[in-house]
């Protein structure tokens, strides 16, 4: 289905650190049902910046019960939208806002008192804040957070996290890990890496009572933590993660291919019951980019193979995805693809967004 956008007014801009702001939105009562969300989901923001339509996804950082729609945006060097949000955006401005999406969600707890373990770095705390707030306010389950930053001053939501710790001392275990400030134990200095995970499992975490491990941050950190957890005996289906950036990930393996000059694929896309047809040259743009250039209004956000907004089902033909950080192996077997990463490998493709 197409991503639904609405013009929404900015209710408040809150400075979190010197390079991060929270943006709260004034959702009208008539749209509140459409904007209901689950802990861990995100909003897609769209704005015209210097004449260019720019679209980015940012995670909601409040619990659904707070009845507040707020995202945190950390300024990234060279980042078009993040720079605009931190330097230009003001309360009262209006922005195009997509309804909540995302599959970085909490697993349902069991009958007893379970433990949820979270690993975050930098702005990766934002969806985890939503999850933690929900768990602490709505359940009796235990929460353990390992949060990596450079310095104390760079900790996003520092006061809010400490306040949650004070209010839920018997339920919330908080561990700050800083790379530029020493906090005493070597366990909490440096990066959150594989060797630290082994120590945390030995001294802090009881895996027998953990229902889910959730990880959010840069790709290298996520895969290192995930691999270390599994290598230490943690069941892989307990591990849940969401990537925030793709810049530091391993480069996709590029196959050397012979491309027939002027050869192209006929692509048929179904969205909301309507069929759009266009051609895509072999060895050229991804299917999503070619579709957008042809005038098709397809759902997308990150264009990095991360967010899954552009997920669709391949009904006919063959494609190759450059990278895939969002689809599960069983989804790929069922024929689902990320159109932002897919290139044609057959002369005719039929793709259905309505089955996604």
CB-neighbour burial class of residue 71 (10 A; exposed 0-12, middle 13-18, buried 19+): buried
Confidence at residue 183, expressed as pLDDT on a 0 to 100 scale = 76
The secondary structure element, H or E, covering residue 227 is helix 219-231
Confidence at residue 268, expressed as pLDDT on a 0 to 100 scale = 97
What the block records as the tokens of 239 is 């591990």
Confidence at residue 185, expressed as pLDDT on a 0 to 100 scale = 87
Confidence at residue 262, expressed as pLDDT on a 0 to 100 scale = 61
Instruction: Please give the Cα distance from 104 to 102 (Å, whole number).
Output: 6
Confidence at residue 2, expressed as pLDDT on a 0 to 100 scale = 62
CB-neighbour burial class of residue 193 (10 A; exposed 0-12, middle 13-18, buried 19+): middle
pLDDT 10s digits, 298-338: 999 888 888 899 999 999 999 999 999 889 889 999 999 99
Confidence at residue 246, expressed as pLDDT on a 0 to 100 scale = 46
What the block records as the tokens of 171 is 């339920």
Q: Which residues of the chain have a pLDDT value below 70?
A: 1-2, 245-262
Domains and CATH numbers, the chain: 5-98 (2.40.30.10), 115-243 (3.40.50.80), 264-352 (3.10.20.30)
Beta strand 94-98 with 42-49 is antiparallel
Confidence at residue 258, expressed as pLDDT on a 0 to 100 scale = 46
What is the reported pTM? 0.84
pLDDT 10s digits, 225-270: 999 999 999 999 999 998 875 433 434 444 434 444 568 999 999 9
Report helix, strand or coil for 260: coil
């Amino acid at each position: 289905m197409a991503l639904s956008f609405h013009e929404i007014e900015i209710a408040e801009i809150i400075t979190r650190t010197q390079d991060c702001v929270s943006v709260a939105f004034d959702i009208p009562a008539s749209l509140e049902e459409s904007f209901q969300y689950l802990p861990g989901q995100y909003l897609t923001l769209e704005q015209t910046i210097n004449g260019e339509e720019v679209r980015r996804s940012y995670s909601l950082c409040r619990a659904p019960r707070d009845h507040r729609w707020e995202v945190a945006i950390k300024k990234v060097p060279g980042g078009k939208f993040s720079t605009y949000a931190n330097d230009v955006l003001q309360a009262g401005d209006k922005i195009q806002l997509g309804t909540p999406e995302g599959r970085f969600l909490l697993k349902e707890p069991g009958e007893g008192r379970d433990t949820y373990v979270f690993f975050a770095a930098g702005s990766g705390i934002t969806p985890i804040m939503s999850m933690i707030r929900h768990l602490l306010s709505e359940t009796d389950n235990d929460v353990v957070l390992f949060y990596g930053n450079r310095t104390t001053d760079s900790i996003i939501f520092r006061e809010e996290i400490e306040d949650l710790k004070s209010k839920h001392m018997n339920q919330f275990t908080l561990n700050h890990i800083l790379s530029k400030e020493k906090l005493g134990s070597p366990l909490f200095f440096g990066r959150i890496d594989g060797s630290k995970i082994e120590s945390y499992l030995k001294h802090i975490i009881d895996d027998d009572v953990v229902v889910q491990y959730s990880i959010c941050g840069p790709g290298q950190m996520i895969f290192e933590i995930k691999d270390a957890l599994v290598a230490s005996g943690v069941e892989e289906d307990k591990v849940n993660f969401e990537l925030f950036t793709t810049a530091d990930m391993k480069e996709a393996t590029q196959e050397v291919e012979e491309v027939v000059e002027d050869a192209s694929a006929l692509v048929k896309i179904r969205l909301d019951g309507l069929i759009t047809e266009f051609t895509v040259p072999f060895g050229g743009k991804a299917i999503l980019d070619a579709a957008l250039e042809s005038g098709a209004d397809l759902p997308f956000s990150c264009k990095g193979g991360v967010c899954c907004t552009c997920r669709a089902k391949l009904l006919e033909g063959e494609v190759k995805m450059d990278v895939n950080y969002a689809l599960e192996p069983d989804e790929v077997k069922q024929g689902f693809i990320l159109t932002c990463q897919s290139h044609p490998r057959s002369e005719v493709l039929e793709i259905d967004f309505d089955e996604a």
